[in-house]
Chain A
Amino acid sequence: MDFVKLINCMRCGMCLPHCPTYKETFLETASPRGRVALVRKFQEGELVESEKFLEYVSLCLDCQACASACPCGVNAGELVAEFRCERKQEQGLSTMEDLILRKLVPHPDRLEAATAPLRLYQRTGLQKVVRSLGLLKVFPAALGRMEGLLPKLPEAPLRQTISEVTPAVGEQKGTVGFFLGCVMSLIFSEASLATVELLSTLGYKVITPKDQKCCGAPNMLGHDIDGLKDAARFNTDLFQSQQLDFVVTDCGGCGAELKKYGHHLDGEAAATAFSTKVRDISEILATEAGTLKEKLKPLPLKVTYHDPCHIAHCQGIRSQPRALINLIPGIDFRELPEADACCGSAGTYNIEKPEMSDRVLSRKVQNVQKTGADYLVTSNPGCLLQLKKALSEANPPVKVIHLTELLQMSLNA
């Protein structure tokens, strides 16, 4: 780790009010400033990797709200992740991590096959039986939580059903590659279909290579930097072999990772060229606002927007989604208090740290309720999973949809 990155922190504390775990605990050890200090003191030999040390460091959601707030450009979230990656490289992956991160995640067919039983579980009515009999209580707690988060799955993963080429409607303006994203394809295929429809309606030919692999974000979460590099190389080669104006994704997490391929592969030319082509769907649509506006029909809905960390903090995209929502005639947009605060999903954090995740989530739910909105719009599958469940149980319930689903509703209203 580059030591300068650690001493750049001037301990001003500007990150504290933006850190979800600090806001819940008021503890310096649960703050970005504290985590930078912990890692620095470990590097300086003042602290050892004790159980407490790991507990404090792993409480970080890696939402990177601290990076947005830092006056000196320190990214405490990323530093903590980098530190954990380095430790993992020294210690090696566990058998379970190796199985998931190397043998499952990088292989879309295996990943899809692994989720097939879940589809069956929902469709045969087994889910209802399990839930009504309270059988979840006999499962390990983490499994129970995962089951609870799962919405109704599509008939088949989108990767299997989508055509590789979707022609532009009318005159062709350009060609984009569509990066699917595992969770979007497996669970939120309808949102991704809306994304493709919007792109083609606006005159883009959409190419969706079937061979694409997971972006590598789960490897990053598992601190498996080598697995991440493999994913980056593979996807770079696959997309760079096509003539594309942009590579578009509607998954905030994927977008943030794809934009960093150049960095992950130490500035390799192809990866850097690929990364500069990557756009979140909201970035593309915002540049087409004029054309899009003419096609949108009124939707009399009260809507608010949650900034996914991977969109706002990692990619700096804030105004585009709001501008797009406001293009819809008749929409009543209400700004969400603390809109860019993490929802507590944070990859697998909600499974690993359920207690803190719930505290962070409950603050988000209260803020959503303050807006009086009927719909919460967001654009990252982790947030969608976490917020769909929580807000369907809220009183009154709030519907949660992807940005492109809202725009599609207006397009076809």
Chain B
Amino acid sequence: METSFIKALSEIVGEQHTLSDPESLACYGYDSTPELQSRPGAVVLPGSSEEISKVLALCNGAGVRVTPRGSGTNLSGGSISFDAGVVLQTSRMNRIVEIDEENLTATVETGVITSTLHREVEAKGLFYPPDPGSMNISTMGGNVAENSGGLRGLKYGVTDDYVMGLKTILADGEVLKTGGKVVKDVAGYNLNQLLVSSEGTLGVFSEVIVKLIPKPQAKKTMLVHFPQLEQAALTVSHIIAARIIPATLEFLDRTTIKCVEDYAHVGLPLDVDAVLLIEVDGHPAQVEEDAAGIRAICERHHCSFFQTAAGPEEALKLATARRVALSALARVRPTTILEDATVPRSCIAPMVKLIQDTAKKYDLLIGTFGHAGDGNLHPTCLTDERNPDEIRRAHQAFGEIFEATIAMGGTITGEHGVGVAKKKYLPKLVGESGLRVMRGIKGAFDPRGTLNPGKIF
């Protein structure tokens, strides 16, 4: 990138917040996506909406592309600049502007870390439910851009269920304010919801207003083993059919169970097909009733083990298996490809079966865990980037898995985003009309194609 352009950037955000040395560029050439890397031309860390506006106006005018980035935990290559453009990191904008206890909203700058917001609102007896796996480092801006989910999605929904208002900087530097603190708002197109999960292609968020809810009073955690996968899947469906909506309904398959046991020695049996971690929350009486109902359903489906945590400490212990699942898998081989194929809840059993068969067919090690309650599974391929043949087989396997997902009425990505990693599967899912509408929207927001080019479609 030309020195004069870098100088112009540094005049906006300050010299110490403008990076262009080869070492920094190398470190901003990746996010959490396996295999993908590409060095940007420069990195800026603006400290305010005004600075973002000026950076975007400058880049848009000069035909330089901009890729927004929070903490760089994206899993679809969305925060990598593939055309040596400018990476714009929002981390310095990390103020919680306001927690409004009368309207039950929080207004935050988009560099705020998700779990920081959790802590602050929970101290006031309030609750912000979205809890993506990366919540200890992911930024609120990134969560909005990717529409992040998490373990509590089944009962509480995902990020877009909580976004009430956005301050977005458009490609030309103009500011767009959408939504606000009102619960009802039908004035014009619902641009708020359109901007959520736009993956940095429509604008850069500088501020977000999110909805808060009262913190549940009580919680109960249960761990259940199932010798048969089909029975575990039926249990999931029947719990929901019994009008019980657990806050968490997590699943581990046989491969994952083995890896967890090898790594953490938590006492899981190696001869079961599935482990479910179930958590119900709410009013104490309701929690008791739900837990009893769940127990009856699990027993009816021949679970081989059922334990309810006596207190918070035991709950933590029961949750260990699920909590360490990714760690346990990731340690087995050097490279970990974590996907997020999502199917309707009723298709969990055939989907898990299909993943296992596909792994066998391509001679791969794939562990599956995830959010059984909302059908969002994480088939995780344990491989080695130095083995090109195995990597090729892994991609073939995932190709088949995604095809099957679409055939079952599911989606290619439940919470990681399309980015570049899933781009080739999108046309099949949304069709020509879907792509045409999306391209039209992109053109309306960003006619010069400045923002995060090459992502989604």
Contact = CB atoms under 8 A, between A and B. Distances in A.
B26 interface: yes
A28 B72 contact: yes
17 contacts: A7-B385, A11-B32, A11-B72, A12-B32, A13-B32, A13-B71, A17-B137, A26-B45, A26-B89, A26-B91, A26-B92, A28-B72, A34-B27, A37-B30, A50-B23, A71-B326, A72-B327
Given A17-B136, A71-B330, 11 more contacts: A11-B72, A13-B134, A16-B137, A17-B115, A28-B28, A29-B19, A31-B27, A52-B21, A52-B23, A56-B23, A71-B331
B393 to A, nearest CB: 19
Interface of A: 4, 7-8, 10-14, 16-17, 26-29, 31, 34, 37-38, 41, 46-47, 50, 52-53, 56, 71-73
Contacts of B136: 14, 17
B294 to A, nearest CB: 29
A38 B91 contact: no
Residue from A26, A38, A47 having most chain B Cβ neighbours under 10 A: A26
Contacts of B385: 7
B73 interface: yes
Nearest to B28: A28
A73 B26 contact: no
Given A7-B386, A26-B91, A13 B73 contact: yes
Interface of B: 19, 21-24, 26-28, 30-34, 45, 71-73, 89, 91-92, 111, 113, 115, 134, 136-137, 326-327, 330-331, 334-336, 385-386
B386 to A, nearest CB: 7
Contacts of B71: 13, 16
B330 A72 contact: yes
A47 B73 contact: no
Contacts of A73: 327, 331
Nearest to A50: B23
Given A13-B71, A13-B134, A38 B27 contact: yes
Contact of B30 (A11, A16, A27): A11
A92 to B, nearest CB: 25
Contacts of B327: 71-73
Q: Which of B27, B92, B111, B326 has the most CB of A within 10 A?
A: B27
A37 B331 contact: no
A102 B334 CA distance: 38
A38 B26 CA distance: 8
Contacts of A16: 71, 137
Contact of A46 (B26, B33, B335, B386): B26
Contacts of B24: 27-29, 52
B423 to A, nearest CB: 20
Q: Which 8 A-B pairs have the closest CB atoms?
A: A71-B327, A26-B91, A28-B27, A34-B27, A72-B330, A13-B73, A7-B334, A16-B137
Given A12-B73, A16-B71, A16-B137, A47 B331 contact: no
Nearest to B34: A10
A71 B134 CA distance: 12
Contacts of B111: 26
B27 A29 contact: yes
Contacts of B73: 12-13
A393 to B, nearest CB: 28
Contacts of B31: 11
B324 to A, nearest CB: 8
A335 to B, nearest CB: 14
A16 B45 CA distance: 17
A53 B45 CA distance: 20
Nearest to B324: A71
Contacts of A37: 26-27, 30
Given A71-B327, A72-B330, A72-B336, A10 B23 contact: no
B331 A72 contact: yes
A47 B72 contact: no
Nearest to A54: B23
Contacts of A27: 19, 24, 45
